[in-house]
Amino acid sequence: MTIPIGLSTASVWPLKAGAAFELAADLGYDGVEVMVWADSVSQDVGALKKLSKRTGMPVLSVHSPSLLITQRVWSPDPVVRLRRSVEAAQELGARTVVVHPPFRWQRRYGDGFADLVAELEDTSGVAVAVENMFKVRPPGGNRDARVSAFRPSIDPTDVGYRNYTLDLSHTAAARMDPIALAGRMGPGLTHLHLADGTGVPKDEHLVPGRGGQPCAEVLELLRGSGFDGQVVLEVNTRRAGERARRVKDLAEALLYARLHLGQ
């Protein structure tokens, strides 16, 4: 089975979701992951359906609005946001919803999160793949201090879910071994955010091969393991400036993925 390779709409920011569909089609990606955030098109299932039909790019996955900057997208209630993400995935024909673990201050949401994820998977048939995160440097803290904003930790295998998203930019920022983490995720690893990082405590999302993560080894591991999920390029092109540079970066990222997946 050929592993589908998608492009996250976050990879074209500050351009809007429509640009990601167009570029994915032009470059030969297999589909798109929709990052639901401030971009109004990313929140509009009808508009996304039209983009998918026009470009021939299926929506492979939906990234629930889990970021600090998206805490009021769709609803201020994180339970409602996750439910709406699953409903959007169903309407768009996407197999997967990517979600971050609860923030530490979301106590009620955190208490019921594992049960909510299981309920949504049981009733929808959509995989709700919980993503690994990373610690950050606290304001005013020393350069080596790190704190986690997530409950109970940055590692979703500490709780145990049916489905996981492995994000290689996050493992870089966390200085976590992605091969070992993939092993802990086991058959629950159903989604990969492919990117790179240098190990600084921030989310770099470099083009794979430009940082220190074993991106090739992870792809080869998936290739040999019977992985039947999706690989999504979630890279940062906000400094690309002109279209030609963004196209070059996204084409290089796709080529890297296809090469190491044996495609």
SS3 per-residue string spanning the chain? CCCCEEEEHHHHCCCCHHHHHHHHHHHCCCEEEEECCCCHHHHCHHHHHHHHHHHCCCEEEEECCCCHHHCCCCCCCHHHHHHHHHHHHHHHCCCEEEECCCECCCHHHHHHHHHHHHHHHHHHCCEEEEECCCCECCCCCCCCCCECCECCCCCHHHCCCCCEEEEHHHHHHHCCCHHHHHHHHHHHEEEEEECECCCCCCCCCECCCCCCCCHHHHHHHHHHHCCCCEEEECCCCCCCCCHHHHHHHHHHHHHHHHHHCCC
186-208 pLDDT per residue, tens: 999 999 999 999 988 888 999 99
31-82 pLDDT per residue, tens: 999 999 989 999 999 999 999 999 999 999 999 998 767 788 888 999 999 9
Looking at residue 47, what is its pLDDT? 97
Residue 241 reports pLDDT greater than 80: no
Average pLDDT over residues 86-95: 98
Looking at residue 173, what is its pLDDT? 94
Sorting pLDDT into bands at 50, 70 and 90, what band is 242? confident
134-166 pLDDT per residue, tens: 987 666 556 665 677 898 999 999 999 999 999
